Structure 1
Amino acid sequence: MKYNVTINSILNVNEIPEYWNEQDYLKLLELFNFPDPETIAKETLLDYLKMAITDEEPNKAAAILLTYKLSEKLNEGQIQQISNDMLLDKVCEEYPEIDLHAPLFHINQLLYLAYNGKFPNAAATILKCVIIADDVEDKSELGNEQILKILAQGLGESALLKRLFPEQLVGIKPFPEANDIVWELESLGSSQYKLITSEYWLSKSDFVQGEYQADIVFEEGITEA
């Protein structure tokens, strides 16, 4: 299937404010032993949470946040290890389980902002593009795997995505990792898409083409060995 692609914008950000909500702030304030969090004005909840976080030692604060978000996926020993590693490395990029990269990024950046840089700084990528199928009858919306295959054809050969998943991107092997690499994918209508992922996977410097034609193989065409 052929598509005409135009990259409209690629923005690197240090946080995605929509990830944490009011209920998260209230629950976290309780976990950080902040008195009467329900009396705090909504617009100042995050400021108070940052203050509550910095009342703890950095690794302990990290452990509280990790337990709150990931206790169903990580055991106590893993949480303790990650809470220490986060002070030294970008665990949200290096952790072997890709499905944890997104929550680890959001936790890392909340700690980074609260401690004013004591934790390593990571970045997310917000990409907006227009993808129009050559087949004018094709009005179907694209999924995570299709989007990554299409975007990959505008990347340079040194891009990490192409180096780690070369066979998946050309349709030789299945690509289940796409659902973890893409954190959010939104159809904006009129063949426009908004994608959020880690800068680790897609960055502005990875793209060598802003307009191009992509020819992709859909997953149903793959024959597994």
Structure 2
Amino acid sequence: MNYQITIKKAYTVDEIEGYWTSEDYIKLLEKFDYPDAGDADPATLKELLFMAISDFEPKDAAVIALEYKLSENLNEGQIQQVSNDMLLDKVCEEYPEIGLHATLFHINQLLFKAYNGTFPNAKATIIECSFEPLEEESEIELTKESILKLLNNGLSGSNLIKRLFDLPMTENLPFPEAEAILWEVRSTDNSNFTIITSEYWLSKEDIIASEFEGILEIALDVE
């Protein structure tokens, strides 16, 4: 199925608004020994958390934040290792399990801002785009996998996704990694989309065309 793809806007951010909720801030404040956090003005919770975090050593703060968000995914030894690595490298880009990259990004950036540096500054890419089918045949619901495949023709050959996943990006093959590569996909009409991913995977400089065509085929199940 042929599509016309239009990239309306692509930009870089160092924080995804709305990821951390007031409930998150209150629970984290309690873990950082701030009493009666639930009685605080919701508008002040983020700044209160930053102040509470700054009273801790960076590595200890990283352990607390990692345990809060990833205790079901990482064991104690892994959390200790990641907390060390976070001070030196962008773990949210380099960790072997790419399914954890998004959460590690949010933790990293919370700590980066709380300490006004200290932790490496990671970035995310937000793309606003549209996918319009060129045939009159029935429109299918676009998934993260199909969106990445359709973006292929508009991306530079140096793009990391294209280099690491050339076959699933260009051939009729399953691409399960797409679920982790694209952190979030928002759409109300299956035509206009907002896509959020890591700058590591897809930077705005990787986009070499604002309008292009793409072909989408249904991926075959491979045993």
Q: Secondary structure at the match of 1:17?
A: coil
Answer whether contact 1:145 1:178 (CA < 8 A) is retained.
Answer: yes
CA RMSD of aligned residues (A): 1.3
1:121-160 paired onto structure 2 within 5 Å? 121-160=121-160
Match of 1:224 in 2: 222
Instruction: Report deviation, 1:81.
Output: 0.3
Alignment partners' CA distance in 2, 1:140 and 1:172: 16
Aligned counterpart, 2:196 = 196
TM-score (normalised: structure 1): 0.96
Which whole-Å CA distance do the structure 1 matches of 2:211 and 2:162 have between them?
Answer: 18
Aligned to 2:78: 78
Which digits, 9 at most, give the CA deviation of each residue in 1:146-204, with x for residues without a partner? 00011122101111010000011123532110111111111143721111111111111
Structure 2 counterparts to residues 32-181 of structure 1, below 5 A: 32-181=32-181
Question: Any conservation in 2 of the 1:92–1:105 contact (CA below 8 Å)?
Answer: yes
Aligned counterpart, 1:212: 212
Does the Cα contact within 8 Å between 2:129 and 2:193 map onto a contact in 1? yes
TM-score by length of 2: 0.96
Q: Distance in 2 between matches of 1:146 and 1:50?
A: 39
Unaligned runs of 5+ in 2: none
* Residue of structure 2 in register with 1:185 after alignment: 185
Structure 2 distance, partners of 1:114, 1:28, is: 13
**Residue type matched to 2:74 in 1?**
L
Residue 167 of structure 2 contacts residue 173 of structure 2 at CA under 8 Å; is this kept in 1?
yes
Is the 2:92–2:102 Cα contact (8 Å) retained in structure 1? yes
Does the 8 A contact of 1:141 with 1:187 survive in 2? no
Structure 1 residue aligned with 2:22: 22
Code of the residue aligned with 2:114 in structure 1: it is: A
Residues 216 and 137 (structure 1), Cα distance of their counterparts in 2 relative to 1, 3 Å cut: closer
User: Which has the higher mean CA deviation after the structures are superposed, 204-213 or 184-193?
Assistant: 184-193
Indicate conservation of the 8 Å contact 2:5/2:212, yes or no. yes
SS in 2 for 1:117: coil
Report deviation, 1:102.
0.3
CA distance in 2, matches of 1:190, 1:97: 29
Change in Cα spacing, 1:153 to 1:41, as seen in structure 2 (3 Å) is same
Q: Could you tell me how far apart the structure 1 residues matched to 2:173 and 2:12 are?
A: 30
For the 8 Å contact 1:95–1:101, the answer to whether it is kept is: yes
**Distance in 1 of aligned mates of 2:151 and 2:106:** 24
| Residue ranges of structure 1 left out of the alignment (5+ in a row) | none
Deviations 1:52-96 (A, max 9, x none): 111100011000000000000000000000001000000000001
Identity among equivalent pairs (%)? 54
SS at match of 1:100: helix
8 Å CA contact 1:171–1:216 kept in 2: the answer is no
Aligned partners of 2:141 and 2:190 also within 8 Å: no
